[in-house]
Amino acid sequence: MKLDSNNHSVFSMHYHLVLVVKYRREVFDDKVSDFAKDMFVKLGEKYNISLVEWNHDKDHLHILFKAHPNTELSKFINAYKSASSRLIKKDFPQVRKKLWKEMFWSRSFCLLTTGGSPINVVKKYIENQGMK
């Protein structure tokens, strides 16, 4: 296993994040998912977060990412949800039509540490979650 490091520590911190669209509206296709993924990567750079694996179903995302120990995960997740909600609705009229004035994301999210599972096992799980 490859470890990350900074000036004073060595670490390997991987997380599995599941984000669900409000009321389980089916808004994700490959184009919307790719747009959301690009936003995740760009915003993640500011928070020392890097994407490892990404998959979507029609109404939710599965994201495997790694972070530094000093990353404020809840701040990042809230910033991502806010920015992605606004920009997806702006750039994809079909999404705006399905959600009207509702919030895009459910207020809750699921964030799991990978708990020592080999990353290839978690990646395989996330790969298998899309488009069931």
Q: How many domains is the chain partitioned into structurally?
A: 1
Asked if residue 66 belongs to a domain, the reply is yes
What pTM was computed for the model? 0.86
Asked if residue 2 belongs to a domain, the reply is no
Asked if residue 32 belongs to a domain, the reply is yes
Can you give the pLDDT at residue 5? Answer: 84
CB 15 within 8 A of CB 65: yes
Asked if residue 44 belongs to a domain, the reply is yes
Asked if residue 6 belongs to a domain, the reply is no
Asked if residue 132 belongs to a domain, the reply is no
Q: pLDDT tens digits for the chain (132 residues)?
A: 678 888 888 888 999 999 999 999 999 999 999 999 999 999 999 999 999 999 999 999 999 999 999 999 999 999 999 999 999 999 999 998 888 777 899 999 999 998 667 667 777 877 787 555
> C-alpha distances in angstroms, 52 versus 60, 120, 125?
17, 10, 13
Those residues whose C-beta lies under 8 Å from the C-beta of residue 33, and which sit 6 or more positions away, are: 54, 56, 61
> Could you tell me the CATH number of the domain that includes residue 32?
3.30.70.1290
- Residue range of the domain that includes 21: 12-127
Can you give the pLDDT at residue 78? Answer: 96
